[in-house]
Amino acid sequence: MSKYIMFGEELLQWLQNLAKESKVLAPVKEEYGYTFAEWDKKSLPGDDYRNTLKPPKDLFFPQHETLLKYEKIKGENPLVEVPDIPEDKRVIFGIRPCDASSLVLLDNIFMGEDYVDPYYEARRSNTLIVSLVCRTRGKSCFCEDLFSTKGSDILIIKVDGNYLVEILTYRGEAAFKGIGSKEADEKIVKKADKLKRTQEEVLDKDIFEKLRTIYDNPIWKQLQEKCVNCGVCTFLCPTCHCFDITDDKRGKKVRSWDSCMFASFTKQASGHNPRPTGTERLRQRIMHKFYYFPEKYHDIACVGCGRCVEKCPVNLDIRQVIEKIRGCLDEKSLSAI
């Protein structure tokens, strides 16, 4: 695909043209942080934020969603109303590459071989993803690649005050058709390449594939001693996707986010709970992200966005958890635990 160079005024005009046919969402600063909201169409969204407070999964897999409505009628079959499948065209501008790549992981769950969620699929197929590369990596971030292209239709890099636009998919190409911007020359591309930073790999896939060897190890109890099982890490994680379906008194069947960190998550009707303490629940979270998910989908369920690190009320840093597990997998360290 092609690479173009654009001035800020050209990029603004392009977004304004897109907004004529699609709803454009962009990061907007609110009281507690940035969130994706409808763009005001007046000026380019700022790019000085680290990440949005809530992950973009909320735009495809909402925190609360009505799946159907029903009305019980005495002596008759209940009336059932299924909400319309969303058809609105959308553009998400300014999403960070780590968050864009999280959507590819969620696709495995909601658009897999065995099951396709019609609401999620409709939102994905009607949404153009335009990612904007971070200027610098935040203190809590540990993504492997600031310039990841996974999940993006268009990738934008700010270079010397202008914008290098990389078209990645046919959808992105269609959205950029007829703009008339000049193709980026080799000099600009090389400048962008110099912005790329390497980082020591935090998410070692090979090590995490060995997690089952320490399933019953005391390391889990040691790690859990700091955790309060509040669930903030899972709610703010762009790849966590557990949910519950409940019936309310108004005749609605509602799907809501749930968390493996909650005591009631696996509690059965009999009262038995296979994960009775925080130790088992923390182990489930780590095992799912770095062993169960890779075993099934061949990729870890973490993109290194750092939200769980930044917002944990007890400063339980998943990077430190990973390091302790690494040490535990070392036979010398294992004997010392």
DSSP 140-152: T---S-TT--TT-
Residues 171 and 213 placed together within one structural domain of the fold: no
Same domain, 40 and 153: yes
**CA–CA gap between residue 106 and residue 104 (Å, rounded):** 5
Pair (22, 171) in one structural domain:
yes
Residues 44 and 164 in one domain: yes
Helix, strand counts (H, E) of the chain: 13, 11
Phi, psi at 24, each rounded to 5° = -100, 120
| Most confident listed range (44-48, 92-96, 182-186) | 92-96
> Letter for the amino acid at 143?
C
Query: Over 70: is that where the pLDDT of 85 sits?
Result: yes
Judge whether 264 and 316 are in contact, CB under 8 Å: no
Residue 69 lies in a domain: no
Same domain, yes or no, for 47 and 161? yes
| CA distance linking residue 11 with residue 83, whole number of Å | 36
Alpha-carbon distance of 8 to 5, in angstroms, equals: 10
pLDDT at 302: 93
Backbone torsions φ then ψ of 56, nearest 5 degrees: -70, -10
Categorize the per-residue pLDDT at 333 as very low, low, confident or very high, splitting at 50, 70 and 90.
very low
Scanning 3-135, the segments in alpha helix (DSSP H) are 8-18, 97-110, 118-125
With respect to residue 63, please indicate whether it lies within any of the assigned structural domains. Answer: no
Question: Looking at the structure, do residues 287 and 311 belong to the same domain, yes or no?
Answer: yes
Domain identity same for 110 and 136? yes
pLDDT of residue 337: 35
* SS3 of residue 26 by DSSP: strand
Same domain, 190 and 210: no
Please give the share of the chain, as a percent, with pLDDT higher than 90.
58
72 — pLDDT class (breaks 50, 70, 90) = confident
Q: Examine the fold and report which residue of 195, 222, 246 is the final residue of a domain before the chain moves on.
A: 195
Domain total for the chain?
2
The encoded tokens of residue 154 equal 């268009």
Residues 318 and 208: their CA atoms lie apart, in Å, by: 13
How do 90-95 and 127-132 pair as beta strands?
parallel
Question: Is 17 a domain residue?
Answer: yes
**Residue 13 pLDDT level (bands cut at 50, 70, 90):** very high
Same domain, 261 and 187: no
pLDDT band for position 273 (50/70/90)? very high
- Domain final residue, candidates 169, 195, 221: 195
> Would you say 62 and 254 are in contact if contact means Cβ atoms under 8 Å apart?
no
Question: Is residue 59 in a domain?
Answer: no
Considering only 34-43, 72-81, 87-96, 131-140, which range has the smallest mean pLDDT? 72-81
Residue 207 has pLDDT above 90, yes or no: no
Residues 293 and 331 in one domain: yes
Q: For position 335, what pLDDT does the model report?
A: 42
Q: Which domain holds residue 173?
A: 3-54+86-195
Last residue of a domain, one of 140, 171, 195: 195
DSSP 8-state secondary structure symbol assigned to residue 86: P
> Do 218 and 242 sit in the same domain of this protein?
yes
Identify the three-state secondary structure at position 275: coil
The answer to whether position 272 is within a domain reads yes
User: 65 lies in a domain?
Assistant: no
Q: What is the mean pLDDT of residues 94-120?
A: 95
Is 64 within the bounds of a domain? no
Q: β-strand 127-132 against 154-159: which pairing, if any?
A: parallel
Q: What is the pTM of this model?
A: 0.90
Quick one: 229 and 327 in the same domain? yes
